[in-house]
Chain A
């Protein structure tokens, strides 16, 4: 078995601030994802990475940067926090070329004051 850890669990920032969310996985999975979950809107893909140092934009990448410095970790930066970005950010991982199942972390809840 494995686990996905997201830090911090809660993140409070000021409007305009640059904020970083971190994700670690010990599944040894190749692919990692960042999603944003807004109430009533499902999950929207921000960035994903199919291997170390790879980055692919999702549908919601504007206003975000991501970094995959090593296979086990994937970080997401909100470049300038906005009040309408109060949401839960979910990290996930999966085996490249596998059955497609994604394993999710518990999420980071972002509040912008």
Chain B
């Protein structure tokens, strides 16, 4: 089955700098890549996603890049703010809207003042 590896288990950046979280996946059939954010003591919530028919997507300060050849995707958070501190999870699934998603282990992002 699909395996998703999240390369950074922790990441610390200064407020205002950019943060980059990298993930790789194993199954070339995967075509939908969402990102979720988990704040302390809470469940996950969706932040952004990308499908395999594009290689870049932006939503305000969030940019997702997808390199299908390398089976790699990344989340870029620009102009970081204290409220960006959280655990971020990347994920992959076979089909757009598929019921089953494989998650990475999570990256704990800390924004330093």
Contact = CB atoms under 8 A, between A and B. Distances in A.
Given A40-B9, A41-B105, A50-B99, A59 B43 contact: no
Contact of A45 (B4, B9, B32, B100): B100
Contacts of B100: 45, 48, 56, 58
28 contacts: A35-B103, A40-B9, A41-B105, A42-B6, A42-B89, A42-B103, A42-B106, A43-B89, A45-B100, A45-B101, A45-B102, A56-B99, A59-B1, A90-B44, A92-B44, A94-B99, A96-B97, A99-B96, A99-B97, A100-B32, A100-B93, A100-B101, A102-B46, A103-B45, A104-B43, A104-B44, A104-B45, A107-B42
Contacts of A96: 97, 99
Interface residues on A, range: 20 to 34
A106 B49 contact: no
Interface of B: 1, 4, 6, 9, 32, 34, 36, 41-46, 49, 89, 93, 96-106
A106 B43 contact: yes
A31 B93 CA distance: 15
